[in-house]
Structure 1
Amino acid sequence: MLWACIALPALSLDVALRTQPDPARPVALIDGPATCRSLLAVNAAAARLGLRAGQKLTLARAIHADFSALPFDAVATARWQQWLAAWAYRFSHQVSVAWPHSIVLEVGHSLQLMGGWPAFEARLRDELGQLQFQHRIGLAPSPRAAHLLAWLKDGVQAHTPAQQQALLARVPVRRAGLPGQAGERLHRLGL
């Protein structure tokens, strides 16, 4: 089997931008208590003004007052992730949303039909671009490896278990996607 992961690093922002009449306008996605809201994500126009994820809303307004501050909507984000999973069923009968902001699909059985991986990947990218979702894609023999590779670097491919092993062997333990603080703890132990 061969799995592709479509990582959606800006899914919440992409969802929020769908409600905006002018996509070129500076937009920041915000969350937190009313007295201490922070920017979760910003679009390119807001970034050019000096706004950054992690900034307090009050600081962002001091830097530049004219931007749209949209509330983070976890329900809408989850709904769109499910919608994208339904879209992915066009390409595979095995689709998973096991990880947040990610769609994993088995592509090995569809490669010949889609003209090989380069053509398949190009089609995924083209359609996701038309749907206006920022994305990264990784490919590996296991779903977890495809997920990890997509989040580490866009376009990483491992077609065989040996290639997968070689790529994963170079992943720093801190970035290995281990649960909780396990990666950090293992790093401190010298692994």
Structure 2
Amino acid sequence: DSPPPSPPCSPVPLGPPQPLPANNNIYECRPQPDVDIEALAHSATFQPMLHTMSFIQELRNASTTDPVAKLSDEVLDQLCNPPSVPLVIDNPSVHHSISTYLALEHLSQVACEAICHSSKHNFGVAPGAEDILTFQNIERHIRIHTGVEPLLHDMCPNTCHACTRPFSILNECHICQKSR
């Protein structure tokens, strides 16, 4: 006794979203709890939680003018007065270079350079291939066209642990004790 065969599946055409059938469910919307961050921070005893609460308190007080942000007057001016016209990049090599850089935002500089080198090598006869930019030149073009500057902070080479507040006063990594 096997079950009857299922009818063949055919794709259902997509149309405008339809309202869900009424099922008489009632959902209670609770107000956001009032959490006293200061009291919570003072009650923390577990060391990682103390660090987390320190970062939360620092974030609550963060400002673009804070010296830890390391923003120059020029960068602050760009943040407050961004370009008001769309950015137009009509050079295909520059466009390709910036697109590659943005696509690889979480990868290394070496990976970006390797892809740009590969593009030059494989498409060397294509118009503009010789103008594909290096990593440093891509960042320079981005700075020129957008005013976006990189924010550099000390970081442990072993753990990638940032030496920002509350660890900005330390001279060594909080995790592995390697000197900054």
- TM-score bin (small chain): under 0.3
Q: TM-score, normalised by structure 2?
A: 0.26
Rg (Cα) greater in structure = 2
What is the TM-score with the length of structure 1 in the denominator? 0.25
When you count strand as a share of all residues, which structure comes out higher? Answer: 1
